[in-house]
Structure 1
Amino acid sequence: MKKNILQFLTLCLAVLAIAFTACNKNDKSTSGGTAKLELRLTDAPGNYDAVYVDIQSVKINATTDSSNGWTDVPLIKPGVYNLLDFRNGIDTLLASVDIPAGKISQIRLVLGSNNSVVVDGVSYPLNTPSAQQSGLKLNLHADLTAGIVYRLWIDFDANKSVVATGSGKFNLKPVIRTYSEATGGTLQGTVLPPDAKATVMAINGTDTLYAVPSLLGFYRFAGVTAGSWNLYFVADTLTGYQNFNVGNVSVQTGVVTTVPTVTLIK
């Protein structure tokens, strides 16, 4: 009997040690961690056939240093975009990047020189002042929470941004507003023991998400639609561990929901 109790206590201590390590990893991944930022381009309607804008780079400032606190955001496809392709709620993804959680204060949009406007089927170059090519600063005050996915829109007003100067000449003086929005919430937690080699499914109606936990059992679903989700912890059939599920997990937009640690048994 004493031997069995000793073995049981030893097993409990081992599980607690693993859970403690996983919780530490969990804490590091949320406190002072990163947020996912999607940068999107959209447009208010304009009375032109096309408005082509040459977007070369974007920089973000998440510090109080307006001179040196800039971080480059790698664009998926730098180059020319027709603003009128993104009217009436349509947008396009410019970049998707992980950045330190915190406050974004400014965005700098760097334009190239290959800008033009099409009027009645005729293309005209858009004169772009050098100050705009070196970086057009846009003010934005957004707080980003670690583990949450955010969308940030650069919303051009094509009609106001193109200025006719006469004699078939046009200037580009961008009129832009920026705004951000949290995209769903985040579900995260830990499934033990690692030997179970579990995968995690989150299901809400016809929506199914999958996650493969880390070596210590940590998993995360980001950009999850707000609502009630069911989690299924499916062990590798060769390990002998039993599956488990947790129902009615509430997800809120802009909130990180941490599910209590799940320990599978044989």
Structure 2
Amino acid sequence: MKIPHYLPIVLLAGLTLASCADDKSSNATKLQIRLTDAPGDFQKVLLDVRQIEVHLKDEQSADGWELLPFTPQTLNVLDYVNGRSALLVDTDFEPGDLKEIRLVLGPNSTVTTRDGQIYELKTPSGQTSGVKLKLDNATLRERETFQLLLDFDVAKSIVQRGNWRPGVDKKERFLLKPVIRVIAQDIAGGLRGTVTPSASLPQILAIRASITPADTFSTSADASGGYQLSSLPSGVYRVEFFPTTTAPTGQPTYKNVVRTDITVTNNQVTELGQTKLD
């Protein structure tokens, strides 16, 4: 749930990947972790995320966890619906297999109901051992971008206590039992082309409508009219062009243009050629 203006994601904070930076070669892959959300019937859902780790060994092994560079923050997951997502981690990483991801939650998660009441959210496991999500077929390859999309289902994740009644302490109404779908994918496709007039300087959106929720990626054309979007998941896209300038007096007005049924294939760059915006 783009994740982007969708976790299915202190004492250790100093032990980041920086300590391993000198060991990483130019063959490192790029690891991204994003959060998106399936909507729920609330005004706001604040998730207090303290730490994100990945497990490099089988889940039975207690060691092999590696802390990722992530700034602890409280996220309103309902900001990341309908194609928007939050970028939580974007780092170089050694190629290899990932077995699990773990999200450690803090004590400040809350939910605001439709009537404006704020309630605490408690996740005992999330605040101790962390919320662990198993990864299937998560293989990071050299010089590629790999993305883990955590699709958090609010409606299924927030559970009202069966014995709650109005007037009871607000802290006791809801429990957070995260239901998170993890989408793991290599991202090595791309789109490129040119626009005319180049003076229109359009913003360009590539929207992967072949999935739900849709993914949206953006860029801008340069002064020569050229543009390229890299690290796109394979799929069928709609590409939208939005001029950011006004045509000079006496010249045709710049217009928004939409191109549909654009196919992106992994490990290839799709050529869009020239797109006229006048």
TM superposition score normalised by structure 1: 0.58
Aligned to 1:148, which of 144, 148, 152?
A: 144
- Aligned pairs for 1:134-145 within 5 A: 134=128, 135-141=130-136, 142-145=138-141
Counterpart for residue 184 of structure 1: 188
| Alignment pair present for 1:99 and 2:108 | no
Tell me the equivalent position of 1:86: 80
Distance 1:226 1:44 in 2: 20
Find the counterpart in structure 2 of residue 71 from structure 1.
Answer: 66
User: Relative to 1, partners in 2 of residues 1:182 and 1:45: Cα closer, same or farther, differing over 3 Å?
Assistant: same
User: Is the 1:44–1:87 contact (alpha carbons within 8 Å) kept by the matching residues of 2?
Assistant: yes
Q: 5+ unaligned residues in a row in structure 2: which ranges?
A: 1-24, 196-219, 223-227, 235-263, 270-278
1:97-138 CA distances to partner (integer Å, 9 max, x unpaired)? 111112111001110010111011111111221x21121110
Q: Partner letter of residue 96 of structure 1? A: D
Q: Which residue of 1 aligns with 2:103?
A: 109
Alignment partner, residue 24 of structure 1 = none
Q: Which moved more, 1:109-118 or 1:151-160?
A: 151-160
Matched residues in 2 for 1:255 and 1:102: separation? Answer: 22
1:123 aligns with 2:112: no
Mapped to 1, the partners of 2:94 and 2:41 lie a distance apart of: 40
Name which one, 1 or 2, has greater alpha-carbon Rg: 1
Aligned CA RMSD, in angstroms, stands at: 2.9
Q: What 5-or-longer segments of structure 1 have no aligned partner? A: 1-27, 187-201, 210-220, 228-250, 257-266
Superposed, 1:242-253 pairs within 5 Å as: 253=266
- Aligned residues of 1:145 and 1:254 also touching (Cα < 8 A): no
Taking a change above 3 Å as real, the CA distance of residues 133 and 93 of structure 1, as seen in their structure-2 partners, is same
Aligned equivalent of 1:174: 178
Q: Are the aligned partners of 1:149 and 1:185 in contact in 2 as well (CA < 8 Å)?
A: no
Q: What letter matches 1:178 in structure 2?
A: V
Q: Which runs of 4+ in 1 moved over 4 A?
A: 206-209, 224-227
| Paired residue total | 175
Aligned to 1:14: none
- Percent sequence identity is 37
**Distance in 2 between the 1:39 and 1:157 partners?**
17
Aligned partners of 1:91, 1:203: CA distance in 2, in Å?
Answer: 23
Does the alignment pair 1:35 with 2:24? no
**Amino acid paired to 2:140:** L
Q: TM-score, normalised by structure 2?
A: 0.56
